[in-house]
Amino acid sequence: ELPFAESFRIKMVETIRKSTREEREKWIKEAKYNLFNLKSDQVFIDLLTDSGTGAMSDKQWAELMLGDESYAGARSYYKMKNTIREILGFDYFLPTHQGRAAENVLYSTLIKEGDILPGNSHFDTTKGHIEFRKAIALDCTIDEAADTQLEIPFKGNMDPAKLEAVLKKYPKEKIPAVVLTVTNNTAGGQPVSMQNIREVSALCKKYGVNLQIDSARFAENAYFIKTREKGYEHKTIKEIVKEMFSYADIMTMSSKKDAIVNMGGFVAFKNEELWKKCQMFCIMNEGFITYGGMSGRDMNALAQGLDEGTEFEYLETRIRQVEYLGAKLDEYGIPYQRPAGGHAIFVDAKKVLTHVPKEEFIAQTLGIELYLEAGIRGVEIGSILADRDPVTRENRYPKLELLRLAIPRRTYTNNHMDVIAAALKNVFDRREQIDRGYVITKEFPIMRHFTVELEPA
């Protein structure tokens, strides 16, 4: 058999520049040890996020030229509408400028103080929007997700028993939606099985509550269903996607991931009434209902991206690159959330930096070390991100301290993956010498990780 190769070739490139360790030491200090504060030119390989950082295709760029910028009723809106109906099966939608804006429009309509929204590791902006409205995001992820070395195929699943306990405990009026995130970003880009989606949906129906699928990486999730779940191996990605969403009432979408655009999102509904209720907040915060937060050209590129992003060959190329990086780390014995996720490798920082106390932010410390080593920028998924408890204001220390290395779509080559792995190995080899982390000098009351300022402990 021949070796595997990418299902694309490259017709436009962007220069990136290496730096010296001295330069990086100066820059990270100036950035107050917050990787978000670095200039992108100070970064060689940028793995901060896979969101909006992918490479659009020739067909997507061509679609930009065909965009209709009419204020109301633009052709681009109808193109997006038809694509969402055909591929995802939702009749109603509102375009928004990105995923969190979709959450804002939806939750402004749905959530009231004291409500409960169970989910599988809500993403940070989702949780932020819930807690900002004095509602509660209850985590019902399966316990196995917290054991980074355990290899199971669907580690992103929601625990139906935990969910049912919540649904039993509170009246349905207090539960505006169950939020199922596919793939489960926070747990490591881990997929949710079709069986789990079906079970969660059945519970939602039984207790009369909405099922909202947070869909940022739905296509990657479908790839894992096809390659790991019995009965789906001969279905196309588009067939699997259709089935996944057949169980949902609402979807929120950050199109910056699996629709492979640089900006954009939407919220889609099966129910016409709810769509109408949400229109007011869309008009107030985003824009008129046929463009929301988006330009016509961007709606065109998004529609094209949804089509490309649900093709098997594209997904295989994408996910095999993440697996390739995982396999390199295996070679070096570096622990990460197993198996490799759809969009990222999540390095288990607690298992690497065993001498750094949790109060000094273990995963953040590893992220800074990797940047100093080779100009590679990951992101902390640990206690800085976990924020303070909204009630007690105490720091929350999650079970896992992870350094996420998110791989942008169609952007880097496997040579870059080799450099990332080698740089991590260098840090790993000197892990015993790293025993001090960082302390916070400045933070916001909510979602502090974006702007937090730190200094060496």
Nearer to ligand F0G, 54 or 434 (CB): 54
3-state secondary structure of 197: helix
Instruction: Out of 214, 249, 298, 387, pick the active-site residue.
Output: 214
Considering only 34, 212, 254, 304, the residue that binds ligand F0G (CB under 6 A) is 254
Minimum separation from the CB atom of position 431 to ligand F0G (A)? 26
Considering only 104, 126, 141, 212, the residue that binds ligand F0G (CB under 6 A) is 126
The whole-angstrom separation of Cα 257 and Cα 265 is: 10
The whole-angstrom separation of Cα 360 and Cα 364 is: 9
Q: Is 66 within 8 Å of 56 (Cβ atoms)? A: no
Among the candidate windows 93-101, 138-146, 310-318, 354-362, which touches ligand F0G by CB under 6 A? 93-101
Considering only 155, 226, 256, 297, the residue that binds ligand F0G (CB under 6 A) is 256
Considering only 34, 109, 181, 212, the residue that binds ligand F0G (CB under 6 A) is 181
* Catalytic status, residue 387: no
Residue 409 in the binding site for ligand F0G (CB under 6 A)? no
Q: What mask of x and - would describe binding to ligand F0G in positions 203 to 222, judged by CB under 6 A?
A: -----------x-x------
Cα–Cα separations (whole angstroms), residue 441 to 355, 425, 448: 22, 30, 12
Write the DSSP string, 229-242: STT-TTS-HHHHHH
The whole-angstrom separation of Cα 383 and Cα 449 is: 9
Nearest to 402 by CA among 442, 357, 344: 344
Cα–Cα separations (whole angstroms), residue 80 to 212, 268, 288, 376: 20, 11, 15, 36
Minimum separation from the CB atom of position 33 to ligand F0G (A)? 19
Residue 406 has a CB neighbour count (10 Å cut-off) of 24
Strand order, beta sheet including 402-406: 344-348, 402-406, 379-381
Nearer to ligand F0G, 118 or 434 (CB): 118
Residue 123 in the binding site for ligand F0G (CB under 6 A)? yes
Q: What mask of x and - would describe binding to ligand F0G in positions 12 to 51, judged by CB under 6 A?
A: -------------------------------------x-x
Write the DSSP string, 54-80: SPPPHHHHHHHHT----SSS-HHHHHH
The whole-angstrom separation of Cα 203 and Cα 160 is: 8
Residue 121 in the binding site for ligand F0G (CB under 6 A)? no
Considering only 67, 95, 99, 339, the residue that binds ligand F0G (CB under 6 A) is 99
Instruction: Out of 135, 145, 216, 423, pick the active-site residue.
Output: 216
The whole-angstrom separation of Cα 106 and Cα 444 is: 25
The whole-angstrom separation of Cα 195 and Cα 142 is: 14
* Catalytic status, residue 205: no
In a 10 Å sphere around its CB, with 0-12 CB exposed, 13-18 middle and 19+ buried, how is residue 411 labelled? middle
The H or E element containing residue 264 is none
Nearer to ligand F0G, 126 or 157 (CB): 126
φ, ψ (nearest 5 deg) of residue 116? -120, 130
The whole-angstrom separation of Cα 159 and Cα 140 is: 6
Considering only 125, 141, 221, 300, the residue that binds ligand F0G (CB under 6 A) is 125
Q: Is 180 within 8 Å of 158 (Cβ atoms)? A: yes
* Catalytic status, residue 115: no
* Catalytic status, residue 216: yes
Nearer to ligand F0G, 126 or 310 (CB): 126
Nearer to ligand F0G, 131 or 360 (CB): 131
* Catalytic status, residue 123: yes
Minimum separation from the CB atom of position 346 to ligand F0G (A)? 11
Among the candidate windows 92-100, 229-237, 393-401, 423-431, which touches ligand F0G by CB under 6 A? 92-100
Instruction: Out of 58, 59, 62, 71, pick the active-site residue.
Output: 71
Q: Of all residues in this chain, which one has the CB nearest to ligand F0G in the complex?
A: 99
Minimum separation from the CB atom of position 164 to ligand F0G (A)? 23
Instruction: Out of 90, 123, 291, 346, pick the active-site residue.
Output: 123
Instruction: Out of 124, 159, 258, 298, pick the active-site residue.
Output: 124
Interacting residues of 302 by C-beta distance below 8 A, sequence separation 6+? 80, 255, 259, 261, 264, 294
Among the candidate windows 95-103, 234-242, 290-298, 448-456, which touches ligand F0G by CB under 6 A? 95-103
* Catalytic status, residue 257: yes
Nearest to 65 by CA among 410, 298, 305: 298
Instruction: Out of 79, 257, 328, 343, pick the active-site residue.
Output: 257
Which residues are catalytic, by number?
71, 123-124, 214, 216, 257, 449
The footprint of ligand F0G (CB under 6 A) covers 49, 51, 98-100, 123, 125-126, 181, 185, 214, 216, 254, 256, 265
